[in-house]
Amino acid sequence: MSGAIPTSANAIVRRVGAGFIVLYVLAYMGVWLALLAPVLVTLPLKINSLVGAEAAPGALGLVTGIGALLALIGNPLFGRLSDRTTSRLGMRRPWMIVGLVGAVVGLAVMAAAGSIGMIVLGWSITQLSFNALLAAIVAIMADQIPERQRGMVSGVLGICTPLALLLAAYVVQLVAPLGQFAMFMFPMAISCLVVVIFMIVLKDRRLEAVDRPAWSLHEFASTFYTDPRKAPDFAWAWASRFLFVMGQSFLLTYQAFYLLGKIGVTETELPDSIFIATLVSSVCWILSSLIGGKLSDATGRRKVFVLASALVYGIGLLVVAFSSEMTMFLIAMAITGAGIGIYFAVDLALVTDVLPDRDNAAKDLGVFNIASALPQSIAPAIAPAILALGGGDYSVLFLVAGACTIVGALAVLKVKGVR
Q: What pLDDT score was predicted for residue 6? A: 44
Q: Are the beta carbons of 415 and 303 closer than 8 angstroms?
A: yes
Report yes or no on 221 lying in a domain.
Answer: no
Q: What pLDDT score was predicted for residue 290? A: 75
Q: Are the beta carbons of 317 and 402 closer than 8 angstroms?
A: yes
Domain boundary among 142, 172, 205: 205
Same domain, 193 and 259: no
Q: Are the beta carbons of 389 and 222 closer than 8 angstroms?
A: no
Q: What pLDDT score was predicted for residue 205? A: 81
Same domain, 255 and 365: yes
Same domain, 148 and 281: no
- What is the rounded CA–CA span in Å between residue 106 and residue 124? 7
- What is the rounded CA–CA span in Å between residue 6 and residue 74? 26
pLDDT in tens, 232-276: 888 888 898 899 989 988 888 888 888 988 888 888 888 889 889
Report yes or no on 2 lying in a domain.
Answer: no
332/392: higher pLDDT? 332
Q: Does the pLDDT at position 47 exceed 90?
A: yes
CATH of the domain at 92: 1.20.1250.20
- Where is average pLDDT lowest: 3-7, 10-14, 285-289? 3-7
Quote the domain boundaries for residue 264: 227-419
Mean pLDDT, rounded, of the chain: 83
Report yes or no on 148 lying in a domain.
Answer: yes
pLDDT in tens, 298-318: 777 778 888 888 889 999 999
Same domain, 101 and 138: yes
Same domain, 197 and 235: no
Same domain, 163 and 280: no
- Where is average pLDDT lowest: 63-77, 186-200, 277-291, 352-366? 352-366
Q: What pLDDT score was predicted for residue 152? A: 65
Same domain, 35 and 91: yes
Report yes or no on 343 lying in a domain.
Answer: yes
Report yes or no on 212 lying in a domain.
Answer: no
Q: Does the pLDDT at position 359 exceed 80?
A: no
Confidence at 155, pLDDT banded by 50, 70, 90: low
Q: What pLDDT score was predicted for residue 53? A: 79
Same domain, 87 and 168: yes
Instruction: Tally the domains of the chain.
Output: 2
- Where is average pLDDT lowest: 22-31, 324-333, 408-417? 408-417
Question: Taking phi first (over 0 means left), then psi (-120 to 50 degrees means alpha), and beta for anything else, what does residue 383 get?
Answer: alpha
Q: What pLDDT score was predicted for residue 121? A: 96
Q: Does the pLDDT at position 110 exceed 70?
A: yes
- Where is average pLDDT lowest: 11-25, 129-143, 158-172? 11-25
Q: What is the mean pLDDT of residues 89-93?
A: 88
Report yes or no on 338 lying in a domain.
Answer: yes
Q: What pLDDT score was predicted for residue 352? A: 65
CA dihedral 388, 391, 392, 397 (to 10 degrees): -80
236/78: higher pLDDT? 236
Q: What is the mean pLDDT of residues 22-32?
A: 92
Q: What is the mean pLDDT of residues 376-397?
A: 85
Same domain, 273 and 388: yes
Residue 380 CB partners (closer than 8 Å, separation 6+)? 60, 61, 62, 63, 64, 65, 68, 249, 253
Q: What pLDDT score was predicted for residue 418? A: 67
Q: What is the 3-state secondary structure (H, E, C) of 174-195?
A: HHHHHCHHHHHHHHHHHHHHHH
Q: Does the pLDDT at position 5 exceed 80?
A: no
Percent of the chain with pLDDT over 70: 88
Domain boundary among 172, 205, 238: 205
Same domain, 241 and 369: yes
Report yes or no on 61 lying in a domain.
Answer: yes
Same domain, 152 and 271: no
Percent of the chain with pLDDT over 90: 27
Which candidate, 239, 197, 191, 215, places its Cα nearest to that of 93? 197
Same domain, 181 and 258: no
Q: Does the pLDDT at position 327 exceed 80?
A: yes
Confidence at 99, pLDDT banded by 50, 70, 90: very high
- What is the rounded CA–CA span in Å between residue 139 and residue 142? 6
- Where is average pLDDT lowest: 96-105, 150-159, 291-300, 304-313? 150-159
Q: What pLDDT score was predicted for residue 358? A: 55
Confidence at 31, pLDDT banded by 50, 70, 90: very high
Report yes or no on 7 lying in a domain.
Answer: no
Residue length, the chain?
Answer: 419
Q: What pLDDT score was predicted for residue 94? A: 92
Q: What pLDDT score was predicted for residue 336? A: 93
Domain boundary among 174, 205, 236: 205
Confidence at 26, pLDDT banded by 50, 70, 90: very high
Q: What is the 3-state secondary structure (H, E, C) of the chain?
A: CCCCEECCHHHCCCCCCHHHHHHHHHHHHHHHHHHHHHHHHHHHHHHHHHHCCCCHHHHHHHHHHHHHHHHHHHHHHHHHHHHCCCCCCCCCHHHHHHHHHHHHHHHHHHHHCCCHHHHHHHHHHHHHHHHHHHHHHHHHHHHHCCHHHHHHHHHHHHCHHHHHHHHHHHHHHHHHHHCHHHHHHHHHHHHHHHHHHHHHHCCCEECCHHHCCCCCHHHHHHCCCCCCCCCHHHHHHHHHHHHHHHHHHHHHHHHHHHHHHHHCCCCCCHHHHHHHHHHHHHHHHHHHHHHHHHHHHHHCCCHHHHHHHHHHHHHHHHHHHCCCCHHHHHHHHHHHHHHHHHHHHHHHHHHHHCCCCHHHHHHHHHHHHHHHHCHHHHHHHHHHHHHHHCCCCHHHHHHHHHHHHHHHHHHHHHCCCCC
